[in-house]
Amino acid sequence: MITYTWSISKLDCAPLENGLTNVVKIIYWGLTGIDENGVSASMSNSYPLSSPSPEGFADYLTLTEETVIGWLESNLDVGYIQSRLVNEIASKYNPPITSLPFPWIKVEEPIVVEEPVLEVIERAPRPWRSRPEPVLEVIEEPIITEEPIVTEEPVVEEPIITEEPIVTEEPVVEEVVVEEPVIEEVVVEEPVIEEVVAD
C-alpha cells in the first residue's frame, strides 16, 4: 500500500485584480508516495489558477493548506500522477533493462594516488617530572601600510629645431682687367756728323 502526501512550496499572488487583493495565481506543489517498505517517489510541478469571481474569492489571510490542496485535487488529474509514482517505486524494486559495456573490452580504471597521512605522536610527560607549561608570547606584527606605487611616465623631450636663415649667395662677378699693351717709344738717335774744316 502506498501513502500519498501533498506539499505546497510557494504561492504566487497578484496584488490587485478586479478589485480583489492578494489573488492566488500559481500554486507550486509536490506529491510524494511511500510504500510499506519505505521506498518512495515524488513529483513536483506548478498549477496556474484562473481569476476567481467575487463570490468565490477567499481572502489570502484565511487560506489553509487543506484549502489549497483541495484546489489541486479538484483541478489536477490525481489518478495519473499517482500511477506515475507507483511505476517509479516499482522500478526501484525491478530496475529497468540497461545496456552494459562489453565484458571483453577492459576499461582502465583511473589510478588514485593516496597522499600519505602524517601522524603526530605526542609523548606523554613522565609522571615524576614536573613540566612547566609553555608560555605563548603574542608577537604583534607591525601594520605595514602600503603606499600606492606611482609610476612616473618617461618625459620625452622634443628636439628643439632652430631654423637657420636661408642665405642666398649672390654670384661673384669677377672683373676682367684688360691690360693695354705698353707701347715703348723707340728713340732713334740721329748720327752726329762732324764737320771737318780744311786748313
- Pick from 56, 66, 49: nearest CA to 14: 49
pLDDT in tens, the chain (199 residues): 899 999 999 999 999 998 999 999 999 999 999 999 999 999 999 999 998 888 889 999 999 999 999 999 999 999 999 999 999 999 998 887 888 888 898 877 778 777 776 655 555 454 445 555 555 665 666 666 666 565 566 565 665 655 555 655 665 556 655 566 555 555 556 655 555 555 4
Q: What share of the chain is helix, strand, coil (3-state, %, to 5)?
A: 15, 20, 65
The answer for residues whose C-beta is within 8 angstroms of residue 34's C-beta and 6 or more apart is: 2, 3, 5, 40
pLDDT for position 59: 92
Query: Rounded to whole angstroms, how far apart are CA atoms 42 and 3?
Result: 11
pLDDT for position 15: 94
- Pick from 14, 32, 17, 49: nearest CA to 84: 32
Q: Look at the block and give the residue holding cell 500522477.
A: 81
pLDDT for position 78: 96
SS3 77: coil
Give the Å distances, CA to CA, from 57 to 21, 60, 68, 69, 73.
Answer: 10, 9, 13, 16, 18
pLDDT for position 127: 47
Query: Rounded to whole angstroms, how far apart are CA atoms 168 and 165?
Result: 9
C-alpha cell at 62: 484565511
